[in-house]
Amino acid sequence: MTKENICIVYGGKSAEHDVSILTAQNVLNAIDKEQYQVDIIYITNDGDWKKQDNITSEIENIDDLRLSDVEAGEISQLLKVGSSGQPYSAVFPLLHGPNGEDGTIQGLFEVLDIPYVGNGVLAASSSMDKLVMKQLFEHRGLPQLPYVSFLRSEYRKYENNILKLVYDKLEYPVFVKPANLGSSVGISKCSNEEELKSGIEEAFQFDRKLVIEQGINAREIEVAVLGNDYPETTWPGEVVKDVAFYDYKAKYKDGKIRLDIPADLDEEVKMTLRNMAVEAFKATDCAGLLRADFFVTDDNQIFINETNAMPGFTAYSMYPSLWENMGLSYADLITKLIDLAKEKHEEKKKNKYNID
C-alpha cells in the first residue's frame, strides 16, 4: 500500500509554543505510520521554519522536536512536496495561540492551495478573538454571561471610566482575559478593584484587547464537535478543579484538574448542550473540529463560555478524551481529521474561479 504523505506543523511564535510541541509529540506517537509517511515542520520562537522528513520512530524526549540542528528553510518550498516526492495529502497544524489558530497560517495554506486539517480562516480567526466570538454567539441567539471589552490604548486614556463601566455592568468575581489567546494564558480571577487592575495589566502583556467576563458559580462543561457540513458531537464532559480556576498552570503543569466523561447531567441538559455546540460550530462556519465550552448552573441554566477552534489535542486532553468515550480512539480521530481535511479541500475545488 502506498502511504499518504502528511506534514505536521508545530511550535510557533506564541506563548503556547511548548504546548504545541507537547501536542506534536502525542500526535506523532499515535498517528498510523502504516498509512501515513509523516514529515514535520518546527516553527521556532523566532519564526524560522525547520523541516525533518519521514518520522518513523517514537518521540520519547520532547526536546528532540525542537530541531535545533536543522537549517531553516523557505516556507513555500518546505510545504510544496513531501519526502515521498508527492504533494502532501494534508498538512496538520498543531499550533496554539496567535499565528497558529487565529487564521493567519490557515490563510497561508489557502494561498498555497494545500489541504489542511481544521478550521478555515474565518472560523479560526473569529474563534480566536473572544469579542468577535461573543458577538457571533449573540447573533445566533446563544445565551451568554455579561462582559466588557476594551483596548489597551483606551484603558491608558480612560482608565477611571473603564473601571466604572466594569463596576456598573458586572459583579465580582470577574475574569480578565486577553481577547486573542488560548490555553488560559494571561487570565486572572479578580474579586476586587485592586485585583482587577493587576489582572488587566497581566492580560495586556499578551494582547492589546481584553474581555472581562462576569464570574458565575457553575459547572464547566465541554462538548467536542467533529465534521464539516454535517458535524457530530460527543456527550458532554466536565472539568473538575482543585484550584480557583482552570488556568494554564493547572491545565498543563500541576495536574490539578480532573475530566469527568461523560458529565453527570440530566438527559435534557445533555441534548441541549450538544445542540448548542452544533449551533456554535455553524455560527463561524467551522470545519474539522471544535470544542464548545459551557457553564451549567445548579438550576440547569446554560451559558456558552467560548469555543476553541484548535482545542488541546494531547492524548489526555478533553477533546480526544470525549471522542474516546464515543468509541473513537486517538489514532482513529487523527485519521478522521485528515480525511475531513481532504474532503474540505475537494469541496472547495468545485468552486469556479474563471468567468467564461
pLDDT band at 244 (very low <50, low <70, confident <90, very high): low
Is the per-residue pLDDT at 254 higher than 50? no
- For residue range 74-95, what is the model confidence (pLDDT) as tens digits? 999 999 898 888 899 999 999 9
Is the per-residue pLDDT at 46 higher than 50? yes
∠ CA 46-50-55 to the nearest 5 degrees? 140
In angstroms, the CA 225 to CA 288 distance is 8
Is the per-residue pLDDT at 8 higher than 80? yes
338's grid cell: 485528515
Is the per-residue pLDDT at 121 higher than 90? yes
3-state class percentages of the chain: helix first, strand second, coil last, to nearest 5: 35, 25, 40
Chain-centroid distance of CA 163 in Å reads: 30
Determine the pLDDT at residue 99.
85
Determine the pLDDT at residue 100.
87
- For residue range 151-207, what is the model confidence (pLDDT) as tens digits? 999 999 999 999 999 999 999 999 999 988 755 678 999 999 999 999 999 999 989
C-beta atoms surrounding 346 within 10 Å: 10
Q: What is the mean pLDDT of residues 108-117?
A: 96
Is there a contact between 243 and 257 (Cβ–Cβ < 8 Å)?
Answer: yes
Is the per-residue pLDDT at 341 higher than 80? yes
Is there a contact between 26 and 20 (Cβ–Cβ < 8 Å)?
Answer: no
- For residue range 13-35, what is the model confidence (pLDDT) as tens digits? 887 899 999 999 999 999 999 99
Is there a contact between 5 and 36 (Cβ–Cβ < 8 Å)?
Answer: yes
Determine the pLDDT at residue 134.
95
Q: 99 burial class (0-12, 13-18, 19+ CB within 10 angstroms)?
A: middle
